[in-house]
């Protein structure tokens, strides 16, 4: 988990570890969006294309897919990481997710970077603190080391 903040131009500096990962990709284009209108996501474009393929192939999930794809299309935009490791967020996603002027939390999950506002971070933190011994025991019984 890494701290972040949007600068006055709507850019967030990506941690060095993520910069290296993104810099090593064959395609430098990113897709910045939100699937749920709460959490911003930075996808390598190849990963985003796989998502689009997933939605096209899973027709039985049409109602859910349509909602997610609408959110992603309305709030999404292509971006590139600049030489200083910054990624620009569109004005639409900044407004909708209330990302301006707040502390952000970035972390890598499922081949994408999740960008949490302070509010969403606190919600997740509170939920994680409710983890029980039984929850952990269940994960360990299923192979967690």
Give domain status of residue 14, yes or no: yes
Give domain status of residue 71, yes or no: yes
Give domain status of residue 103, yes or no: yes
Report yes or no on whether pTM surpasses 0.85.
Answer: yes
Total number of domains in the chain: 1
Give domain status of residue 58, yes or no: yes
Cα–Cα distance, 134 to 132 (Å, whole number):
5
Give domain status of residue 133, yes or no: no
Q: Name the one residue in this structure whose structure tokens are 């998502």.
A: 51
DSSP annotation of 102: S
Cα–Cα distance, 37 to 20 (Å, whole number):
28
Range of the structural domain that residue 108 is part of: 2-118
Give domain status of residue 18, yes or no: yes
The pLDDT tens digits for 81-132 are: 999 999 999 999 999 999 999 999 999 999 999 999 999 999 999 999 999 9
Question: Residue 98: which CATH number?
Answer: 3.40.1550.20
């Amino acid at each position: 988990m890494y701290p972040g903040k949007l600068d006055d131009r709507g850019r967030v500096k990506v941690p060095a570890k993520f910069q290296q990962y993104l810099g090593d990709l064959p395609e430098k284009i990113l897709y910045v969006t939100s699937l749920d209108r709460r959490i911003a996501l930075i996808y390598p474009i190849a990963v985003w294309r796989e998502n689009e393929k997933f939605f096209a192939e899973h027709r039985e999930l049409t109602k859910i897919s349509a909602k997610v794809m609408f959110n992603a299309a309305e709030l999404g935009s292509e971006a590139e990481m600049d030489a200083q490791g910054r990624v620009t967020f569109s004005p639409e996603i900044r407004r909708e997710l209330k990302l301006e002027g707040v502390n952000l939390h970035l972390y890598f999950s499922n081949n994408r970077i999740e960008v949490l506002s302070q509010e969403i971070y606190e919600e997740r933190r509170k939920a994680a603190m409710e983890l029980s011994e039984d929850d952990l025991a269940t994960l360990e019984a299923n192979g967690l080391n």
